[in-house]
Structure 1
Amino acid sequence: MDIDELCSRIDTVDADLHAFVAEPGRRDRLLREMGEHPLPIGVKDVIHVAGLPTAAGSNLPPDVLTGDEAPVVTRLKEHGALVVGKTVTAEFAFQAPGETRNPHNRNHTPGGSSSGSAAAVAAGLVPAALGTQTVGSVIRPAAFCGIVGFKPTYGRISTEGVIANAPSFDTVGVLAASVGWVERVAAIACAGWTPAAAEGRPVLAVPIGAYLDQTEPEARVAFFEQVNALRDKGFEVREVPALDDIEVVAARNRTINLYELARVHERWFDSFASLYEARTATGVREGRKIATDEYEAALRDRERYAEELVAGMDAFDVWVAPSAPGPAPDSLATTGNATMNLPWTQARLPVVGLPAGKLDGLPLGLQFVARPHHDEQLVAWAAELSRSL
């Protein structure tokens, strides 16, 4: 790797893309830290990296947010990773966008909250980056930027050293240029990773009903074209009525997310409320109003929901669904709609998002969802699924 060439490319491409957090002295640091065969990665700016400040996309003083390096970063460094830089995030990985733009059209959102990680990979600045997903913050920006996203089973990657959004949901994930890069990073980052062979083809299921009806009409047509392409390649695809209670799922998610967001920010909010973006501040204040018994009831309902969703997978191997309701919105004031990611994250299932064509010149994605702890098998299947799209 030529560090001078990499930094020059970042200086040029990122001048209007804004995927990386600005870092004075980046070139000198990378020259000092570069190993013999470095694995260049970006790291979302809610994940602590030794020697680099963590601002979490906020205006809070970095020394208030400081913490020890995340074990996932340390582990990657021990296996040759070179942290090229912190990547821009929505404020505290919530809803207020950072300054990152979509590499395919600078007027469109790159998605969020792992916006910088997705854009950096899509622009070819790094082959892989770490992100986090609380609802759809890995899979959706991967789709909007036309790259691969991987959200492992909840807990497979430690969230120690990560500034939380909602600890019950937060999952460290990987955004990458290919399935091969996902597997390379996941094999280091995920606890107990045991590579799996893609033995046989998975039986796929399309969730028919109110959930799928949330997609934009043209995007839904494009989705079924991709489903038919998989059928033509020999995959068995079934249409399964599912998730007609998506509004209930969304309401439960809001209760849990806002309650936990408020508790995470107890240590900072009263002192620095004026520095928060309006959407984040509103979320914290709303979360403070949620009663503990309401939150605990939502957690119990979530467990029942997840058990029922997984039990319904006995007749097939993998759900397939659009990664987002449509392509990236024509706005930088939003990170997009996470509703298509919501059911799977709430159930803590592993998900791989794959690029799947374009609509009006903007990328679309498909997400493939497996049973808990079938991460290795899902990633193995993803390689063949990617070739078939």
Structure 2
Amino acid sequence: MHADPQPLVPLARSLRVGDRRPTALVDDLCDRLDAVDDEVSAFLPEPGRRNRLIREATALDARHDNPAGRPPLFGVPVGVKDIFHVDGYLTEAGSSVPPAAITGAESTAVTRLRDAGALHMGKAHTTEFAYFDPPPTRNPNDLEHTPGGSSSGSAAAVAAGCCPLALGSQTIGSVIRPAAFCGVVGYKPSYGRIPMDGVVPFAPSVDHVGTFTADVAGAARAASVLCDGWEPVAPDDPPVVGVVEGPYVEQATPAGRAGVDVGADALDAAGYEVRRVPMLSDIDDVNESHNALAAAEFALTHAEWHAEYGEAYAPETVGLIEEGRSVGVDELADARAARLELRDRIGERAREAGVDLLCSPAAPGPAPESIDDTGDPIMNLPWTNAGVPALTVPCGRVGDLPLGLQVLAPFGGDESLLAWGEDIAAAVADIGDLSG
């Protein structure tokens, strides 16, 4: 199957100025969904989806008949990971727990998109409670491989051309990793920049809302709607880019490391100053601390649901709850404090090295074969723990399977990350097959 992501910005522009009608776009995307989703399985089934979307698009068109007053995402259909509450829809969260027990008030992220003129394309598949029990979703680049998790459906939906924007979430690597596997752009903001209310929590101290788009310009457009206090910037000078080295990077496969090395060479050839930056020598401790934190908070989140509906939980999820219950109060407090200490260390190390951005593998390598394994989020873990903003852009491939370059900024540097990210993505866009 040929993955065919659609860039958000030109599409949104054509809708706002009237070159394309929202109803026509809905028809086109529903045709695409009908053609590919039996195989990709990005979305949960919704009887009457096309008719519902056409009604909503028609009503939207009537409310904004003057192109001059149309909002920034007028008529743009958005896929929504099924842990986000959406008014009028049940939230299943990839689980057999009764949806009525989980569903709540609409998430702020969804409401902000609706207020910006977006249409709800549908709920996208996720792993059970955003953990590891995989849904039926497949990678549009190669149907025998995983799209990643837990934002499986959201990444696959954008990659397959079924919607130009989708919402996901990340507690370890659930935006950046599936974006890399599917060959699209994933953006995880600084911790707290996009509100998490109205989203089924995993571990609130490290949960993030994120987005999937075809390109960085689309990620920036979505961020301008979703993020608190967004202030666009236009940096005059190209950034100094640091390539992370040390035990953290050694967790990646040779293919994953090669992708970053070739990406760094491409950035150097494009005129960027690239420096090697040893850091995260204590990655084993960081991994252990984050995993204890995530497990403990997951157990707290699910205490009441699991007590009442325990038989509905997958064994792997029950195992995480049991692991979390074994984390002591002092250990949890230490793990929460360690996030902020790591955030400070990352910022200090970047300043010492004189770099504006850091880059590393977005995943250990290309997407694993089979849909029973969503892949390892280990390359995303320290940055999620610290809450720094992360962006992945396509950077080479292994056969038909994409690789991603993970680009990172200091905490709060989201605007600069996305402003610089577009040129960085262009510099590494032509890297070909690294199989040989």
Tell me the TM-score range normalised by the shorter chain: over 0.9
Paired residue for 2:397?
A: 358
Residue 221 of structure 1 and its aligned partner are, at CA, apart by 2.2
Where does 1:1-389 land on structure 2 (aligned, <5 Å)? 1=22, 2=24, 3-34=26-57, 35-36=60-61, 37-314=74-351, 315-389=354-428
The secondary structure found in structure 2 opposite 1:136 is: coil
The one-letter code of the counterpart of 1:221 is: A
- Which runs of no fewer than 5 residues in structure 1 stay unpaired? none
CA contact (8 A) 2:144 2:371 kept: yes
Residue 305 of structure 1 and its aligned partner are, at CA, apart by 2.1
TM-score (norm 1): 0.98
How far does the alpha carbon of each residue in 1:165-191 deviate from its partner, in whole angstroms, 9 at most, with x for none?
Answer: 110010001110111111111100001
- Which runs of no fewer than 5 residues in structure 2 stay unpaired? 1-21, 62-73, 429-436
Residue 53 of structure 1 and its aligned partner are, at CA, apart by 1.1
How far does the alpha carbon of each residue in 1:318-339 deviate from its partner, in whole angstroms, 9 at most, with x for none?
Answer: 1111101100001211111111
When the two structures are aligned, how many residues end up with a matched partner? 389
- Answer with 66-75 or 2-11: which moved more: 2-11
TM-score (norm 2): 0.88
How far does the alpha carbon of each residue in 1:7-48 deviate from its partner, in whole angstroms, 9 at most, with x for none?
Answer: 232122101111001112212221221123401110100000
CA contact (8 A) 2:95 2:128 kept: yes
RMSD: 1.1
CA distance in 2, matches of 1:175, 1:367: 14
How far does the alpha carbon of each residue in 1:134-167 deviate from its partner, in whole angstroms, 9 at most, with x for none?
Answer: 0110000000000001000000000000000110
CA contact (8 A) 1:202 1:317 kept: yes
CA contact (8 A) 2:247 2:281 kept: yes
Residue 222 of structure 1 and its aligned partner are, at CA, apart by 2.9
How far does the alpha carbon of each residue in 1:213-242 deviate from its partner, in whole angstroms, 9 at most, with x for none?
Answer: 111113322321111010000111111111
CA distance in 2, matches of 1:301, 1:188: 31
The one-letter code of the counterpart of 1:355 is: P
The one-letter code of the counterpart of 1:12 is: A
Q: Structure 2 vs 1, CA of residues 241 and 5 (structure 1 numbering), >3 Å: closer, same or farther?
A: closer
The secondary structure found in structure 2 opposite 1:101 is: coil
Residue 86 of structure 1 and its aligned partner are, at CA, apart by 0.6
CA contact (8 A) 1:219 1:359 kept: no
- Answer with 276-285 or 217-226: which moved more: 217-226
CA distance in 1, matches of 2:278, 2:30: 50
Name the % identity: 46
The one-letter code of the counterpart of 1:142 is: A
Paired residue for 2:14?
A: none
Residue 388 of structure 1 and its aligned partner are, at CA, apart by 0.5
CA distance in 2, matches of 1:264, 1:357: 39
Query: Hey, which bits of structure 1, 4+ residues long, moved more than 3 A?
Result: none
